[in-house]
Amino acid sequence: MSALCGNPPAEPKLFGARLQCAYAEQAWIKEQLAAGIGGPQLALVEYLRPALIYGRRGGDQEAAQRRAGALGYGVARRSSGGGAVLAGPWLLGVELLLPHSHVLAQLSPVESFRWFGRCWQHVLREQGYASRLADAASIATHNAAAQAAAVDWICFAGLGHGELLDTEGRKLLGLAQYRGRAGVLLSAGLLLAATPWEDLEWIHLGQRTRYSTMQQQASAGLPGLQRDLLCQRLVLTLQAELASAS
């Protein structure tokens, strides 16, 4: 039975790393995958230096690299798929690695996304923030709007299983997943505050816009959120869920 309805253990046992930029995040993932995943491992990421993070495709254009540098952004690439992510102080990143031997690593990709999304939804509810888990109807509507606005190359423009919408129907939590020989990687990004989407479109497309259509697709964040408390509760919730499933 899920541990979301119960009380998490008082002392967290889930290994945790606190990282401060996209480069450290991707280096940590590569190191853990190369060393082998002996048990569940977690990293919390605060993007103190803003960066554009691409999935497996994109980010190779020299012009985009130059535009990013001129605005003070780095450019990184992640192992998981998905669209481009504009990371900065407005975003909280979380990386969860599971060995293949863990029960939760044996879920289907869609089931894994839904499990991870429900964990986030539970923690946000504890902090007083309502959210809605994406369903088939919201996924279809959201993705159609992203395609019509030609922003479907951006992670927070589209919507998938397990992802969360805010009370206005805008995407709040983005998820990605990687499955390899070492295990399963579940990645999440939570929008904490307003995001400068116009910078992202300029870096990637070389087009200046005064108002990005992403303002309608993506959440403006969670005013008053206590980041440290959220992180603490998330670690405890994930620990409880992992323990109850094993």
Spatial neighbors of 41 by CB under 8 A, at least 6 apart, are: 14, 15, 17, 32, 96, 97
pLDDT grade for 60, boundaries at 50, 70 and 90:
low
**What are 184's strand-pairing partners?**
98, 179
In this structure, what token pair is assigned to residue 159? Answer: 């919507």
Closest CA to 23 of 48, 40, 60: 48
Instruction: Convert the pLDDT of each residue in 94-148 to its tens digit.
Output: 999 999 999 999 999 999 999 999 999 999 999 999 999 999 999 999 999 999 9
Say if residue 85's pLDDT is above 60.
yes
Kindly report the pTM of this predicted structure: 0.91
Q: Which of 51-65, 80-94, 97-111 has the highest mean pLDDT?
A: 97-111
Q: How many Å from the N-terminal Cα to the C-terminal Cα in the chain?
A: 11
Confidence at residue 5, expressed as pLDDT on a 0 to 100 scale: 40
Ramachandran assignment for 51, one of left (phi > 0), alpha (psi -120 to 50 degrees), beta (any other): beta
